[in-house]
Amino acid sequence: MGKDRKINRREFIRRSAATSAGAVIASYPGGGVEAAMPAPQDSPNGRIQVGFIGTGARAHQLMDDMRGISGLQITALCDAYKGRLERAVERTGARAKVYRDHRELLAQGGVDAVFIVTPDHLHKAHVLDALAAGKDVYIEKPLTYTVDEGLEIVNAVKKTGRVLQVGSQGVSSPLQQRARDIIASGKLGQVTMVRASYNRNTAGGAWIYPIPPDASPSTVDWEMFLGSAPKRPFNLERFFRWRCYEDYSGGVSTDLFIHLLTTVHFIMGAKMAESVVAMGALDRWLETRDTPDSMNAIIRYPEGFTLVLSATLNNESESERGFQILGTKGSLQLGGELVYTPERATEDNGWIVDSWPRALQEAYYRDPKVQQSEMVRRWPPKVVEGSQRWQAVGRRDTSLHIENFVSAVRSRNQPYEDAVVGHHAASVAHMINLAAKHRRAVDWDFSADRMKGRA
């Protein structure tokens, strides 16, 4: 390995490719592939052959979570930093072929589906190229970098007939599914308010990650990372901490809120927000970024509820965690576990009628309806329903989410978190950033399925 560190990136790729029997690095045909593509059932032994576009931190988690899911085989890898490719080759038992870039990877046979795990500003290009090449797509959240990219992707999925799943894995967890069932059953009564937060208080939590010591222009492909982003000189902070910069990410909103939004849409059966106001600030990590380190947003849904989202990178108190779903008959707290608490609120206007003329006060309490609803202190004792609590045991959400993708690839039915769901969740996150930046409400145009006004 010591010797390998000294080889340059091109040489690394050449050697890795050469070690895979029969590896051919084909040239990219130029996109635009529209012919019907064989479904993965036609792959050898019904296996789904998987390529990774981007083999960074999240990709390695995904590779680990794929273990134990039968019928998946990682056959192809590409990345813009040599060190991560090296580790991915190691993690896949040197069985996957390495390609210079995503186009070369997509142009070859032996890949049915791709996992796109690149910085957010590259998602659209990578997804569209993958769909055009006839691949099914697992794309990490957020689906898009701008609102307008969403419809392009939705249309490309329709046109190509490929399966696409976005990677906010929470919706595949049994706990979130239980929350959705409870809300749909009416147990909470009318839910008019949902609150959710996602907080951190470390440099790593604020995406100021360590930079590998071997990173340099000979191991990092800066142009490949930039893609269509504004041209800038080589910069390792931007490459490894891209979430801190607007050129590549929407920061807190598209990285953290996106999980909360996807979950709220799922459990509330909501499709899309109608209006957003927000306030963001950069108070602490001033020298490292241009995206805010705190964000608060209020979001209204046509389904008849308001969502309040809050995130800070400057405190992670236990009391400010997860989701509160607040109904007229009960509440759900959703976090590491799911807790139902019934409402026990009862009318008590005693202190109001105590100021009335005595005869009117006595008449008020003779009313049978008032006796039913307000005579709490004179009611006979009774047993009322208490809290309930559920915990999930077993496999991680990500593993279940990958399994849902695999089922969709095999059945050819889109999964729950398809392009439309991903487009809407990401669009709310972008609307939050725009509302905060321009200090104005941002509304959704439901007939055009895009934001009203300028982006």
Ligand X SMILES: NC(=O)c1ccc[n+]([C@@H]2O[C@H](COP(=O)([O-])OP(=O)(O)OC[C@H]3O[C@@H](n4cnc5c(N)ncnc54)[C@H](O)[C@@H]3O)[C@@H](O)[C@H]2O)c1
- Distance separating alpha carbons of residues 297 and 307, to the nearest angstrom: 8
Q: Which amino acid is at 325?
A: I
Please give the helix or strand (H or E) that residue 76 lies within, else none.
Answer: strand 72-78
> Cβ 373 to ligand X, closest distance in Å?
47
> Cβ 418 to ligand X, closest distance in Å?
16
Q: Counting Cβ atoms within 10 Å, is residue 378 exposed (0-12), middle (13-18) or buried (19+)?
A: exposed
> Cβ 126 to ligand X, closest distance in Å?
7
- Closer residue to ligand X (CB): 85 or 326: 85
Counting every residue written for the chain, the total comes to: 455
> Cβ 333 to ligand X, closest distance in Å?
21
- Distance separating alpha carbons of residues 368 and 346, to the nearest angstrom: 16
- Closer residue to ligand X (CB): 53 or 163: 53
> Cβ 335 to ligand X, closest distance in Å?
16
- Distance separating alpha carbons of residues 97 and 75, to the nearest angstrom: 6
| Residue numbers at the binding site for ligand X (CB under 6 A) | 53-59, 78-81, 84, 101-102, 117-120, 122, 140-141, 167, 169, 224-225, 227, 255
- Closer residue to ligand X (CB): 123 or 327: 123
Pairing of strands 442-445, 450-451: antiparallel
> Cβ 225 to ligand X, closest distance in Å?
4
- Distance separating alpha carbons of residues 7 and 133, to the nearest angstrom: 32
Residue number with the shortest CB distance to ligand X? 56
- Residue found by looking up tokens 């084909």 in the block: 26
Taking the CA atoms of 52, 55, 56 and 58 in sequence, report the sign of the dihedral they define: positive
- Closer residue to ligand X (CB): 8 or 346: 8
- Closer residue to ligand X (CB): 182 or 241: 241
- Closer residue to ligand X (CB): 142 or 327: 142
**The tokens of 91 are what?**
């993690």
- Closer residue to ligand X (CB): 253 or 331: 253
> Cβ 77 to ligand X, closest distance in Å?
9
Ramachandran angles phi, psi of 230, nearest 5°:
-55, 140
Residue 9 CB: number of other CB atoms within 10 A?
19
